[in-house]
């Protein structure tokens, strides 16, 4: 007891009820130490799904780099608040919180309600490592989307899985098990996603990673799609996406469309009902400068007034007359 009292007074970290053996190793390997060591080794492992695998390949970060990986950082996003981090600032926020703000401060109450609603969406769309380990990235993404009223189509299949376009019915896990495999199977590669009018948020796209065959993505009239989502979409599917529909996404601004230049294989871009973006016509012209063969639907970007007074105005008129004659 005397030695322990000296240690508690001399080593501040031991005052937080930490085991003395965590600071000084006595040469004894307990069961808890063995379990912690095994867990640390498992966390360092990553999962690789080949295009035509016989089985899952489990390897370590030191010996192999797999693009289809489950990062420890993504797994950390699925955890909640850690109470060991509770500090004086947290205590102050609890004791001084205006609990009667609905009456005294409606503006503050509305902002807090908006934050709570978004937090609920985050909790409902959090990344689930176990689901990806059991199903693989493509089937796991399909389960995630079908459970939120979206529909999907797999490679080499003509029929869509899920609701008709515009439907809002959410599938339960038991219903999805009757349609899709309940464990990993080779050959199920997600090719198209139709998530129009859904409540997908930035954090939810962590469940849509490593989709190496995705070519079609419809996010039309999604109220939560913003600049952060566009950055993640264009970075994740830069080498595969060929069709992108962003019609009616009111949270998108002119800067939100700039990352589209990353989509090197994009063939069709749909931008209907995007009148809230003032410079959308100019953005379309800039995208066409990068992708001359890109088809942009929903925007009349051939507008002489954009180049009024410039030296290229006459050339633009000649091009329009030529297009009319061809029609």
Secondary structure in 3-state letters for the chain? CHHHHHHHHHCHHHHHCCCHHHCCCCCCCCHHHHHHHHHHHHHCEEEECCCCCCCCEEEECCCCCCCCCCCHHHHHHCCCCCHHHCCHHHHHHHHCCCCCHHHHCHHHHHHHHHHHHHHHHHHHCCCCHHHHHHHCHHHHHHHHHHCCCCEEEECCCCCCEECCCCCCCCCCHHHHHHHCCCCCCCCCCEEEEECCCCCCCHHHHHHHCCCCCCCEEECCCCCCCCHHHHHHHHHHCCCCCCEEECCCCCCCCHHHCHHHHHCCCCCEEECCCCCCCCCHHHHHHHHHHHCCCCEEECCCCCCHHHHCCCCCHHHHHHHHHHHHHHC
Q: Looking at the structure, tell me whether residues 179 and 315 fall in a common domain.
A: yes
Same domain, 282 and 163: yes
Residue 310 lies in a domain: yes
d(CA 274, CA 75): 35
| Residue 50 included in any domain | no
Say whether both 39 and 149 belong to one domain. no
Chain mean position to CA 171: 20
The answer on 286 and 255 residing in a single domain is yes
Q: Do residues 143 and 257 both lie within one domain?
A: yes
pLDDT recorded at residue 25: 53
* Residue 23 included in any domain: yes
Same domain, 36 and 98: no
Whether 111 and 140 map to the same domain: the answer is: no
The CATH number of residue 188's host domain is 3.80.10.10
Cα–Cα–Cα angle for 250, 256, 261, nearest 5°? 135
User: How many domains, in total, are found in the chain?
Assistant: 3
pLDDT of residue 16: 47
Q: Report d(CA 274, CA 292) in Å as an integer.
A: 22
What is the greatest pairwise CA distance in the chain? 99
> Is 149 found in the same domain as 97?
no
* Tens of pLDDT, residue by residue, the chain (327 residues): 555 555 455 555 444 445 555 555 555 677 888 888 877 776 666 555 554 544 445 444 443 334 444 455 555 554 556 677 788 888 888 888 888 888 888 888 888 888 889 889 888 899 988 899 889 999 999 999 998 889 999 998 888 988 766 555 677 777 787 888 888 888 899 999 999 999 999 999 999 999 999 999 999 999 999 999 999 999 999 999 999 999 999 999 989 999 999 999 999 999 999 989 988 888 888 899 899 999 999 887 665 555 566 665 565 555 554 544 544
Residue 55 lies in a domain: no
Q: Determine the pLDDT at residue 45.
A: 60
Residue 77 within a domain: no
Does some domain include residue 19? yes
pLDDT of residue 166: 53
Rounded to the nearest 5 degrees, what angle is found at the Cα of 146, between the Cα atoms of 221 and 53? 120
Residue 121 lies in a domain: no
Range of 27's domain?
1-43
- Judge if 12 and 107 occupy the same domain: no
- The gap from C-alpha 229 to its chain's centroid, in whole angstroms, comes to 7
* 267 and 318 inside one domain: yes
One domain for residues 106 and 160: no
Do 7 and 90 sit in the same domain of this protein? no
């Amino acid at each position: 007891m005397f030695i322990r009292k000296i240690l508690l007074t001399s080593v501040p970290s031991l005052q937080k009820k930490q085991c003395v053996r965590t600071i000084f190793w006595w040469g004894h390997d307990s069961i808890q130490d063995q379990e912690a060591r095994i867990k640390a080794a498992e966390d360092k492992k990553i999962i690789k799904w080949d295009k035509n695998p016989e089985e899952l390949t489990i390897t370590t970060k030191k010996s192999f780099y797999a693009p289809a990986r489950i990062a420890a950082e993504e797994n950390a996003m699925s955890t909640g608040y850690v109470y060991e981090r509770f500090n004086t600032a947290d205590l102050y926020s609890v004791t001084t919180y205006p609990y009667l703000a609905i009456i005294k401060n409606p503006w503050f109450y509305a902002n807090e309600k908006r934050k709570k609603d978004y937090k609920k969406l985050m909790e409902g769309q959090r990344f689930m490592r176990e689901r990806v380990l059991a199903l693989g990235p493509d089937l796991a993404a399909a389960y995630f989307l079908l459970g939120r009223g979206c529909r999907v189509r797999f490679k080499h299949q003509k029929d869509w899985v899920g609701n008709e376009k515009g439907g809002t019915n959410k599938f339960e896990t038991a219903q999805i098990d009757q349609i899709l495999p309940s464990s990993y199977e080779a050959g199920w590669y997600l090719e198209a996603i139709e998530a129009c009018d859904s409540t997908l948020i930035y954090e939810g796209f962590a469940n849509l990673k490593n989709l190496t065959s995705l070519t079609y993505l419809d996010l039309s009239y999604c109220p939560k799609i913003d600049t952060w989502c566009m950055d993640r979409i264009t970075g994740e599917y830069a080498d595969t996406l060929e069709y992108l529909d962003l019609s009616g996404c009111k949270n998108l601004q002119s800067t939100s469309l700039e990352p589209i230049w990353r989509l090197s294989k994009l063939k069709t871009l749909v931008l209907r009902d995007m009148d809230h973006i003032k410079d959308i016509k100019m953005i379309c012209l800039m995208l066409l400068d990068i992708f001359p063969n890109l088809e942009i639907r929903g925007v009349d970007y051939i507008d002489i007034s954009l180049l009024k007074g410039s030296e290229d105005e006459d050339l633009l008129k000649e091009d329009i007359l030529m297009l009319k004659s061809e029609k």
